[in-house]
Every structure is written in C-alpha cells, then in structure tokens.
Structure 1
Amino acid sequence: MSHSLSMPASCRASLRTSFAMSGALVATALLLPLTAHADQQSSETPAASGETASYDTTDESPRSAYLSDWYNQNVTVIGSKDIRFGPQKIDDIYLEYEFFGRKGPLDLYGYIDMPKFFGIGNAADSGAFDGGSPIFAEIKPRLSLNELSGRDLSLGPISEWYLAANWIYDWGHNSDNRQNTLYTGLGTDIDTGSPLGMSFNFYGKYQWENYGAENENSWDGYRAQLEYNYPLASFDNGASLFYAGFTNYDFGSDLGDGDSTRTNEAVVATNAFVYSFTHLRFLAVARYFHNGGQWNDGSELNFGDGDFRVRSTGWGYYLGVGWQF
C-alpha cells in the first residue's frame, strides 16, 4: 500500500522558481523535496554545509549545487508509524528516491519507494527481502495548456491549466499483491495573492490490478486533490522551514456496493514540516486517514490468523532524513 509523501504541485512550482509534487506527499509527497527553498535566500548566504544556499548559476559560478538546473532529486530514509492505506496498520522504515522539476510545459513529480528496505517493520509489513513488494512507485506528470497553446488561459484566481495524470504502481509478487492505478484529468495552479501556494487537480480513475479487489479493470470513481504550501521561516545558518500539505478525496467508486468491508469514498490529508539546508533535510509528517485505501473502518476481517478489526481511520506519522542533489 502507498507510502506516498508526494509534494504539492504548487509547492514545487514556487520552490523551483521553482508537486509538483506533489510534485509530494507530499509532497509529498509527498512527500516533500525542498530543494528550491534556497530561491528565497541571498546567494551570499552560506548554508551550514559550507555551500551557498542558492543553486542559481552565473557566468562566474556556472556550476550549481545540484546536478541539474531543472531536474531535482533526493534520497530519504523514512520511518513510518500507523499508516492506514490497508486493512492493517503498517510500521516501516524504508528508502525513497524522489524527483521533480519543470521543463517547458512539463511539470513532473515522482518517487520510488523500497518498502522494508532495512528489514524493520511490524508484523503486517513486508518488502523486497521477505516476500513483499520490492518497489512502490508514483509518477505525476502535468502538461501546461497555457504553454502548449501559447495563450494566457488564466481565469480569475486560476493562473495555469494542465492536462494531469497520476500513475501508481505496487510491484507485488503476484496479481493479488499488486496495484496498478491511473488517474487522468485536469489540473490548475491557483494564485492566492500571498505566499500561500495552492493547486487543484481533478481526476477520473482507471483501476487495473488492485490487490484482487472487485473493481479491477474498470473505471471506478474520481479524485479531487487540493495541494497547498507555505514558507514558515529562514534562518541565519542557511536553513529554511517549510510547510506543505495536500488532501485527496476519493469518491464515486462502486467498490463498497457489494462488500461491507470496503467503501466508495476515502480521504487522506497530509501535513508536512521540512527543515532544509542546501542538501541535507529533515521532515516530520502527520497524515490523517478516513477509510484509508477504501477500507471500512471498524469492519471485521480474517486473513487466516484470526479475526481482527479494520483500523483505517486515524492518524499516521512519518519522520525522515534525506540528501538533495
């Protein structure tokens, strides 16, 4: 089940001036790369690592602190507690590679998780080395209709329109342990007239594999996604503190119609705080689940080891430390 911390698209855009993004849980995305926080700092401000806090290039200093002037990457070790995308809460320590950037009309965000990479997790957790999924991935490309058309398509507070997609893939060891989901629709960036960054995406969902659920190989529901971010503080040591969040509302599914343990709707709201230097970053995330993964909170299940009660509503938490490059 998803570990996503994807970064909100509006956050990625403002940071790179700079989701995307979300990215981001988030991020993330997301979770949550803050590579471009340095755009808001002076190029003379030294980071704690001894490098300039800004990655802007000049004729005198052509090399950036990063490998690319648009494609941002980070690797993060994340510890998670009480994650509720499945019928059983998951605790895990895993490795994540995350990437995002804007190039012409393309606004790109994505990540690849390696669940239980360090062999640490609770009884419900599994990963690459104990018969579970070796990879969980999410890719969120958006194409700017403004740039593709060469026109100003702004409408009221909506500054930019996108063709938007979100592909999620869990590479389980067989079809009953695999997810393959595609969301497609329209996205927007919203001008709030303040440091608050915001975007909104609306998708229809096509479900291929879904861990053996009844809605496989069908169009099944919609997702409304609101992403938001706010810079909180900059410090004399070159670090920045940033808030990024997003809320996903899934609705219109038929999954719960014939199964009392499933639901037709679900909500996930993510709140992330990131303390970031030029390369080193620390993150803390609180995520609220309501019927996470469309599992009906309080229903009873038995997977062969005795009855248990689904706990798909409540809070989950993440802590991480990563390196941006």
Structure 2
Amino acid sequence: MAKFTKTLIAAGLMAAAATPAFAADYSGDIHKNDYKWMQFNVMHTIDQLPYSKADGGYNDTYFEMEFGGRSGIFDLYGYVDYFDIFDSKDSDKHKKENLFMKFSPRVSLDALTGQDLSFGPVQEVYLATLFNIGGMQGLNDAFVGLGADVMVPWFGKVGMNLYKRHANETFDFNPEAKGWNGQQFSMNWFKPFYTFSNGSFVSYQGYLDYTWGMKAPAHSDGLGTFHGIYWHSDRYAVGYGLKYFNEIYGIDNSDALKSTGFGHYFSVTYKF
C-alpha cells in the first residue's frame, strides 16, 4: 500500500505543478508498473438512501473488503459489502439481502495496441467495464464503455469512465427496465493535501456516478456523489464522507420513499 500511496501523492504533486500528462510506459516488461492493494473497512452510515420514510431513516454498520491494482494491461477496482454485521433490528438491512458487490475491470488500450494514445491531459485510455450485483432484490447491472486517466489541476490523476448500461436483472418489474437501458458517467479521485512529519497524510477522496437516459425505473436519471476527508498511515485510515443522492438508481423521491438527500459515512480501515 505504501507504494500505491506514493504513486497517488506523486500524481497529485504533478498536477499541482501544472505538469503535462505523461504517456503510459509499456516498453519492455509491461508488468514493471504493477501494484496491488487490499483493505478492510468497517463503515457506519446515517441516512443512506434510498429508504422508506416509514422506517425513519437507514442507519447501518457494515463490513467492506475493498481492493484494486494493476497487472500488465489490466486495471482493477472493486469491493464487497456485507451489511448489518451486528444483526441489529435497527438496521434497514436486517433480515434482508446483506451483500452488494462492485467490480470495475478496465483494459488499457495503450498496452493492448502498443500505441501511445495519450493527448492533452489524458494519460491513458481504457476499455472500461463495471458490474453491480446484489444489494436490492434482483439487481445485476453491467456497464461497458471507454475510460481514461486524466490529469486535473490540483486533483492529479482522476479516473473517468463513460458507459452504456445493460440491466441483466432488476428490482423494477417493468419489462422495459431490462436490457440496454441508459448511460452512466463515473469519475473518482484521491488527493492527499496535507502530509505529517511521520509520513501519514490527510486526503480528499470521492467519486461521482451520474446515470441518465433510463426507460425505467420511474425516473430517467440518478446521481450519487461522495466526498470524504480521510487520515491515512501505511496500515490504517480513519475518515468521514458526505454523500449526496439525487433520485438515486432512478427512483423517484416521493412521500413514501426518500431517494434525494444527504447521507453520512464514518469508516475505520485496516490495510493489507
């Protein structure tokens, strides 16, 4: 993880100095830039959306295994969430589906073609995929599209992906909800902005997912964006994140179901 952390800090410093994007280097051994990381997070949420207004809010404590890395032409990020770890009747997930999985593998088109596809602030171009499984009854979404690593002032390297969405299975009983149904733009960032004398640091990290053009469910678009402040050492992290939901998953914000608003996330992390 220390190697990964140093890579992220270097990317941030380069952007701050207005350094132009540099091409991915696949000359010689394509595995020379490989890395991998894995961490366990214990998360406590307050008002995670969507939730039934009759329940008065969704508060839960859950366990998350989060991982990622690079191997040759492949770039990977993913996590597995196990909800209601304390078997609490106060959790919205109590005695319901307790697992959610997200996998986001990408294939470097630079490495695959042997060509330098960088331009302007774009460092590298990918064939991007995304899979969301579980969490709500019958949820199984697959996304495919193009991705890029983009150098953004101050932020450093930001991952961006533009997908076409395919609903393999869905919690919506409308038959139009299945099949090719909508598009999604996703971006994520990790910006260390203060480093202590012992090498630990504070970061601003988060993501944005915006889906639009859906024929179903009820709302044609939905937004989720997360903004976190975290303290990191080589082995531990502690943080708070504020997430804004707007008609999340395309679910209408109604008198019965709240799908727009803010949620709070507190986490403690152990890094392997």
TM-score tier by shorter-chain length is 0.7 to 0.9
The whole-number CA distance in structure 2 between the counterparts of 1:217 and 1:193 is: 39
Deviations 1:258-309 (CA, angstroms, capped at 9, x unpaired): xxxx201011111011111111111211000111121111x24xxxxxxxx3
Q: Which runs of 5+ in 1 are unaligned?
A: 1-14, 19-35, 42-68, 257-261, 301-308
* Residue matched to 1:108: 76
Please, which of 190, 196, 200 is the counterpart of residue 156 of structure 2? 196
Distance 1:217 1:311, change over 3 A: closer
Three-state SS of the structure 2 residue aligned to 1:236 is: coil
Q: Which runs of 5+ in 2 are unaligned?
A: 11-33
1:78 aligns with 2:43: yes
The whole-number CA distance in structure 2 between the counterparts of 1:134 and 1:228 is: 28
Distance 1:249 1:16, change over 3 A: farther
Deviations 1:226-255 (CA, angstroms, capped at 9, x unpaired): 223321111123311111122111100011
Quote the offset at 1:112 in angstroms. Answer: 0.6
Please tell me the root mean square deviation across aligned C-alpha atoms, in Å.
2.3
For the Cα contact (< 8 Å) 1:285–1:317, is it kept in 2? yes
* Residue matched to 1:323: 270
Identity %: 25
* Residue matched to 2:27: none
Q: Which has the higher strand share?
A: 2
1:263 aligns with 2:219: yes
What are the residue-to-residue correspondences of 1:136-147 with 2, within 5 Å? 136-147=100-111
Letter in 1 for 2:62: Y
Distance 1:16 1:324, change over 3 A: closer
Distance 1:254 1:273, change over 3 A: same
Deviations 1:149-200 (CA, angstroms, capped at 9, x unpaired): 111101222121000011011166xxxx221110110001112365532222
* Residue matched to 1:222: 183
Letter in 2 for 1:323: Y
What are the residue-to-residue correspondences of 1:134-283 with 2, within 5 Å? 134-170=98-134, 177-192=137-152, 194-214=154-174, 215-256=176-217, 262-283=218-239
The whole-number CA distance in structure 2 between the counterparts of 1:161 and 1:86 is: 37
1:120 aligns with 2:104: no
For the Cα contact (< 8 Å) 1:86–1:295, is it kept in 2? no
Q: TM-score if structure 1 supplies the norm length? A: 0.70
For the Cα contact (< 8 Å) 1:92–1:121, is it kept in 2? no
Distance 1:315 1:39, change over 3 A: closer
The whole-number CA distance in structure 2 between the counterparts of 1:106 and 1:141 is: 7
The whole-number CA distance in structure 2 between the counterparts of 1:164 and 1:104 is: 15
